[in-house]
Structure 1
Amino acid sequence: MEVRQIGQEDRDEWLKLRTRLWPTESGEPMTSASHVTLDNQHAAVFVAEHEGRLVGFAEVSVRAQAEGCRTSPVGYLEGWYVDAANRSSGVGGTLVKAAEDWASQQGCREMASDCVLGNTVGLVAHEHLGYRPTVKSVFLRKSLS
Structure 2
Amino acid sequence: MLIRLVEGQDTESWSHMRTALWPETVDQHRSEIAEYFAGNSIDIVQAYVAVEGAEVVGFLELNLRNFAEGSRSPKLPYVEAWYVKPAFQGRGYGKQLMKFAEEWALSEGYVEIASDTEIDNVTSIAMHKHLGFVETERVVCFLKKLSVD
- State the AA in 2 paired with 1:29: H
Match of 2:68, SS state, is: coil
Whether the 8 Å CA contact 2:19–2:26 is kept in 1: the answer is no
Cα distance in 2 for residues equivalent to 1:99 and 1:71: 17
| Alignment match, 1:13 | 13
More helix as a share of residues: 2
1:26 Cα deviation after fit:
5.3
User: Where does 1:40-55 land on structure 2 (aligned, <5 Å)?
Assistant: 40=41, 43-55=45-57
Structure 1 portions without partners, runs of 5+: none
Match of 2:29, SS state, is: coil
Match of 1:66, SS state, is: coil
Q: 2:134 aligns with which of 129, 132, 142?
A: 132
Whether the 8 Å CA contact 1:47–1:56 is kept in 2: the answer is yes
1:106 Cα deviation after fit:
2.3
Whether the 8 Å CA contact 1:46–1:57 is kept in 2: the answer is yes
Structure number with bigger Rg: 2
Cα distance in 1 for residues equivalent to 2:67 and 2:22: 24
Match of 2:25, SS state, is: coil
TM-score by structure 2 length? 0.87
Deviates more, 1:70-79 or 1:47-56: 70-79
Q: 2:80 aligns with which of 74, 78, 81?
A: 78
Structure 2 portions without partners, runs of 5+: none
Match of 1:101, SS state, is: helix
Cα distance in 2 for residues equivalent to 1:72 and 1:102: 18
Cα distance in 1 for residues equivalent to 2:73 and 2:52: 36
Q: Indicate the RMSD between aligned Cα atoms, in angstroms.
A: 2.0
Deviates more, 1:68-77 or 1:49-58: 68-77
